[in-house]
Structure 1
């Protein structure tokens, strides 16, 4: 298992990447490609990243527990 520090840093990267990709995807899906879309995407990302980070800290223990049960040792 990784140290608490590594897990927190990984959550920063994971939540940032997911917030970036998801806000971008839905901004382009709803608004199409335009200069306005880029501004909307940036504003959504600034809000979404801290929210995604906090939520990822809450759900990651559950996710790791479920992953361990489904794919842990002896599940090959």
Structure 2
């Protein structure tokens, strides 16, 4: 999940900030290489807590009918 989110978010934010330039792929790649480790760490650290919060907020046993 952190990989997919990092790919799309860094692409979008790089495009917003720089537009489509000749070095877009290079700039996007740099942004991705910095963002993915951070996204992975955040997902790893906060994932269990957010799952518990979600389970408390949703009615029932958490399974879809």
| TM-score bracket for this pair, using the shorter chain length | 0.7 to 0.9
CA distance in 2: counterparts of 1:34 and 1:70, whole angstroms: 44
Q: TM-score, normalised on structure 2?
A: 0.84
Structure 1 gaps, min length 5: 1-13
Corresponding residue for residue 26 of structure 1: 13
1:1-76 to 2 correspondences below 5 Å: 14-73=1-60
In proportion to residue count, which structure has more helix? Answer: 1
- 1:25-51 Cα deviation digits (max 9, x unpaired): 100000001222211100110111111
Q: Could you say what the CA RMSD is over the residues aligned between the two structures, in angstroms? A: 1.6
Aligned residues, how many? 62
CA distance in 2: counterparts of 1:52 and 1:38, whole angstroms: 20
Structure 2 gaps, min length 5: none
CA distance in 2: counterparts of 1:60 and 1:74, whole angstroms: 19
